[in-house]
């Protein structure tokens, strides 16, 4: 599970700190040196770590004194608050349009989990009494359309496709008419990925954006790729403007660097977390619960 190494190290550090009655500035500095190392080893962005540690230090040494907590507990509390803040503070929800259909465009590189996530998100929304329509706009990867159709069948959710001969822009545009005709209130567009970011991909995504006018553009990225995921998020955000990120494969042994860096580096909140391959393995991303998982 994600954050395992980081959690072990931080819990170790804080166990020692909690045991002390009084804390000197040196005790705090020593603990924060360990926090810094642990975050860097978890592949958190260098500058994010630096800013994080200096915020914690300032608060811990300036000491907002709370009578109910020992000095050690207070430092832990500050770290917890700052970890949650780093991941966005509170849960970031989807932008649901007051005029249906709400259009959600999923973007990302190949293999990140985009098509699977389209199915999972449709499933989650259907459980919240929405009526999703899945749209197969990845016309380049041979199996992508079929893969989405299979997911749609499993979930009993319609899948809009025009095969692989129409342009993704046309498909996206016509899918909205189809949603209106079928009274579907959320359109989830599965766009094409590439192995690497390139101008052709971005151009196509910009055209789809222009045509489908999505309420949400969500980037699907693989948490296992660490700082690469952060770089991908920066690039997509710069080119398209993202409303949020879906971080997949948090059930794996990702160190957690992507989860802890993406919001701070790009400003884009993580809205959902992929926790497995099954169709019910998508959860809203709760920064405070993630922080608790790290600190135990």
| Site string (60-99) toward ligand GDP, x via CB under 6 A | ----------------------------------------
- Least distance (Å) from ligand GDP to the CB of residue 145? 11
CB nearer to ligand GDP: give 96 or 235.
Answer: 235
- Least distance (Å) from ligand GDP to the CB of residue 295? 23
- Least distance (Å) from ligand GDP to the CB of residue 254? 10
Which tokens go with 219?
A: 């980037």
How do strand 186-191 and strand 270-274 relate by DSSP bridges?
Answer: unpaired
**Euclidean distance between CA atoms 44 and 264, whole angstroms:** 10
Nearest to 221 by CA among 257, 249, 255: 249
Feature table: binding site for GTP: 108-115, 190-194, 248-251
Using rule CB under 6 A, residue 149 touches ligand GDP: no
Using rule CB under 6 A, residue 252 touches ligand GDP: yes
Q: Is 257 left (phi over 0), alpha (psi -120 to 50) or beta?
A: alpha
Contact region with ligand GDP (CB under 6 A), list: 34-42, 73-81, 104-112, 284-292: 104-112
CA 153 to chain CA centroid, nearest Å = 26
Q: What is the DSSP string of 8-65?
A: HHHHHHHHHHHT-SS--HHHHHHHHHHHHHHHHHTT--HHHHHHHHHHHHHHHHHT--
Using rule CB under 6 A, residue 280 touches ligand GDP: no
Contact indicator for 272, 282 with CB cutoff of 8 Å? yes
Among 27, 251, 253, 283, binds ligand GDP (CB under 6 A): 251
CB nearer to ligand GDP: give 249 or 271.
Answer: 249
Among 115, 161, 175, 237, binds ligand GDP (CB under 6 A): 115
Using rule CB under 6 A, residue 249 touches ligand GDP: yes
Using rule CB under 6 A, residue 108 touches ligand GDP: yes
Using rule CB under 6 A, residue 168 touches ligand GDP: no
Say which residue the tokens 């970011």 belong to: 197
Helices (H), the chain: 4-18, 25-41, 46-62, 71-86, 114-127, 144-155, 168-182, 199-212, 227-240, 257-266, 287-295
Using rule CB under 6 A, residue 226 touches ligand GDP: no
Name the residue number minimizing CB distance to ligand GDP: 274
**Interface ranges with ligand GDP (CB under 6 A):** 108, 110-116, 193, 248-249, 251-252, 274-277, 281
């Amino acid at each position: 599970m994600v954050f395992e190494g980081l959690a072990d190290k931080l819990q170790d550090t804080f166990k020692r700190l909690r045991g002390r009655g009084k804390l000197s500035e040196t005790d705090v500095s020593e603990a924060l040196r360990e926090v810094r190392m642990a975050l860097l080893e978890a592949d958190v962005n260098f500058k994010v770590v630096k800013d994080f540690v200096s915020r914690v230090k300032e608060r811990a040494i300036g000491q907002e004194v709370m009578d109910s907590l020992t000095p050690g507990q207070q430092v832990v509390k500050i770290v917890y608050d700052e970890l949650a803040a780093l991941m966005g503070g509170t849960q970031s929800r989807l932008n649901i349009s007051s005029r249906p259909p709400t259009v959600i465009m999923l973007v990302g590189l190949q293999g990140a989990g985009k098509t699977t996530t389209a199915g999972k998100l449709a499933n989650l929304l259907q459980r919240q009494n929405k009526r999703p329509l899945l749209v197969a706009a990845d016309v380049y990867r041979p199996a992508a359309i079929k893969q989405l159709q299979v997911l749609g069948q499993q979930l009993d959710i319609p899948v809009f496709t025009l095969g692989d001969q129409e342009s993704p822009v046309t498909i996206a545009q016509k899918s909205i008419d189809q949603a209106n005709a079928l009274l579907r209130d959320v359109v989830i567009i599965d766009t094409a990925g590439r192995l690497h970011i390139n101008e052709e991909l971005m151009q196509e995504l910009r055209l789809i954006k222009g045509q489908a006018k999505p309420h949400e553009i969500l980037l699907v990225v693989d948490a296992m790729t660490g700082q690469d995921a952060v770089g991908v998020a920066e690039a997509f955000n710069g080119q398209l403007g993202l409303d949020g990120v879906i971080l997949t494969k948090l059930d794996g042994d990702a160190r957690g660097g992507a989860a802890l860096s993406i919001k701070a580096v790009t400003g884009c909140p993580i809205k959902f977390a992929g926790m497995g391959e099954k169709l019910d393995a998508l959860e809203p991303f709760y920064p405070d619960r993630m922080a608790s998982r790290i600190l135990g």
